[in-house]
Amino acid sequence: MTKLVIIHLSSPCTSCLGYKPYHYSICIEEDNATEVIKIIINSYKRIINEYAKLNNMQERGNK
């Protein structure tokens, strides 16, 4: 099964699309995700959630 994983840019993954502002890459990988990749994905989700919270607070402040 193919899955979407998020890997740090220092990874030797050649099929990555880099998103430099976050220093992460989004890759399509086969079933070889390691615990390290899972930890990075969880960290990335937290970053996205925190960013969403900040945006929500700013939107409320602008009303």
pLDDT < 70: residue spans in the chain:
1-40, 63
**Residue 44: what pLDDT?**
75
Q: How many residues does the chain have?
A: 63
Report the C-alpha gap between 36 and 16 in whole angstroms: 17
**Residue 14: what pLDDT?**
44
CB atoms within 10 A of CB 51: 11
Domain residue ranges in the chain: 3-62
E strands, 1-63, are 3-8, 17-19, 24-29
